[in-house]
Amino acid sequence: IPDSVTSIGDHAFDGCTGLKTITIPESVTSIGNGTFDNCNNLIIRGYTGSFAETYAREHNIRFADVNATYTCGDLDGSGDIDSTDIFYTMLYIANVAVGNDGGLTPEQIAAADVDGNGTVDSTDSFYIMYYVALRGAGYHTSWEEVLAK
């Protein structure tokens, strides 16, 4: 969506089943009724605190901050690796296993692939859980140390 757009009309993307992500600029202050109906697995990308974030939350649509930095294991871009990242990794793996869209952006998938083998799988989930457990126990190990185990 261009920065010049201030409003997205009713049902503008209704039924666009292939629409997986959309970036909504801060200039948008109005989104109509049913705009994203039947857009399964949609992620709205926008700015934290924007109308787009509010709309996404109110309509149970996943939201990703365009300024978020996804680092190894940090799928939600919070700057911390925690149980939320474990959950997103496991949910992605489960969805892909049954043929569904995993629901993560390419950046999040790259962050989830902690062993760097090109696939997000149970090994990555284990490493993220192990990393979180070590940190919780007071051991501040690096990813290199965790992956060497």
Q: What is the C-alpha to C-alpha distance for residues 100 and 77, in angstroms, rounded to an integer?
A: 23
**Span 5-44, pLDDT tens digits:** 999 999 999 999 888 889 999 999 999 999 999 988 788 8
**Span 69-111, pLDDT tens digits:** 788 999 988 888 999 999 999 999 999 999 998 888 888 999 9
- CA 25 to each of CA 50, 106, 130: distance values in angstroms, whole numbers, following the listed order: 8, 20, 38
Q: What is the C-alpha to C-alpha distance for residues 69 and 78, in angstroms, rounded to an integer?
A: 8
The DSSP symbol for 145 reads H
Per-domain residue ranges of the chain: 7-65, 83-147
- CA 26 to each of CA 22, 54, 68, 72: distance values in angstroms, whole numbers, following the listed order: 13, 12, 15, 28
